[in-house]
Amino acid sequence: RFNFVLLRENVGKRKAQIAAIRRSSGDLVLNVDSDTTLASDVVTKLALKMQNPDIGAAMGQLTASNRNDTWLARLIDMEYWLACNEERAAQARFGAVLCCCGPCAMYRRSALLLLLDQYESQYFRGKPSDFGEDRHLTILMLKAGFRTEYVPDAIAATVVPDRMGPYLRQQLRWARSTFRDTLLALRLLPGLNHYITLDVVGQNLGPLLLALTVLAGLAQVALTATVPWWTVIMIAFMTMVRCSVASFRARQLRFLAFSLHTPINLFVLLPL
C-alpha cells in the first residue's frame, strides 16, 4: 500500500525526503530516484542486509538504463560499475561506504529520525545546502556509529546524462559534495579502518596531483617546446592497467574502452 505525500511546491530533494521520512511508519526506508527502475528482488536483498541492527544504510549496484543511447552513456555505465564494484565494494569490507547513492539506498528509519535535524540544517556558504544529500546523509550515519554497506546483487537501473553539458554539471555537483563532506568525515577516520583514510586521501588529493601533473606538462610544452613523453606514457599505462583489470573482473571486453574517459577527465573535468 502506498501513501502519496503531496507538497505545495518544489522544495528540493532534501526537504521532500524529510517530509516522507517523518510520515513513514516502517522499520526501513527505501530511497529511489524518479528515473530509477529496480530489479524485482532489490527490496528483499537490501532488507536482508539490513537485518543486522548495526547497519544504518545499504545501497545497491547502479547501472545505466539508457547506456545504449550515446557513447557518453556507455562510458558512464562503466564508470558506475567501477564506482560500485571497486570503490564501494572495497569500503563495504570495512562497513564504511562513504556515499550510499540516492537512486537505490535503504536506511534504518530509527537511525534517520536521530539524524534528520542535522541533515536538514546543513548550510553551505551561509545558505541551506541543495546538493550532496546522499553523501552527507551517509556521513551522518557513520558519525552516529552505524555501518554502511553495499549489496552488489541488488541491481537498479537509472537514467544517466547522455550529453556532455548535463554530465559536467552533475560531476561538478558531486565534486563539490566530495570535497565539502570530506571535512565532516575527517573526524570519523580515526575510528575507521586505515584503508578508509587512504581512500579519502586518494579521492581528494588524487585529482589535485593529477591536475598539477597536467599543468606541469603543459608548462613544459610552452616553455621548452618539448613533449613530456614519460608523463604521457605513464598516464596511458596506468589507464590501460585499470581498464584491463576492470575488464577481467567484469568479464567484459567493453571496459577497455573506458580508457576514453581519461582525456575527458584530464581536459574537461579537471579544469572544472
Per-residue pLDDT of the chain (272 residues; tens, 9 = 90+): 678 888 989 888 999 999 999 999 899 999 999 999 999 999 999 999 999 999 999 999 999 999 999 999 999 999 999 999 999 999 999 999 999 999 999 999 999 999 999 999 888 777 878 889 999 999 999 999 999 999 999 999 999 999 999 999 999 999 888 888 888 888 899 999 999 999 999 988 988 899 899 999 999 999 999 999 999 999 999 999 999 999 999 999 999 999 999 999 888 887 76
- The predicted pLDDT at position 222 comes to 96
Q: What grid cell was written down for 184?
A: 565532516
Q: What grid cell was written down for 69?
A: 543511447
pTM of the predicted model over 0.95: no
Instruction: Report DSSP letters for 149-208, one per residue.
Output: EEEEEEEEEE----SHHHHHHHHHHHHHHHHHHHHHHTTTGGGS-HHHHHHHHHHHHHHH
Domains of the chain, by residue range, sit at: 13-204
- The predicted pLDDT at position 180 comes to 87
- Alpha carbon of 43 to those of 30, 58, 201, 254: distances in Å? 8, 11, 33, 29
At 71, the amino acid letter reads W
DSSP H or E segment with residue 83 = none
Identify the three-state secondary structure at position 128: strand
120, 18 in Cβ contact below 8 A?
yes
Looking at 3.90.550.10, 3.40.50.300, 3.40.50.410, 3.20.20.370, the CATH number of the domain 13-204 comes to: 3.90.550.10
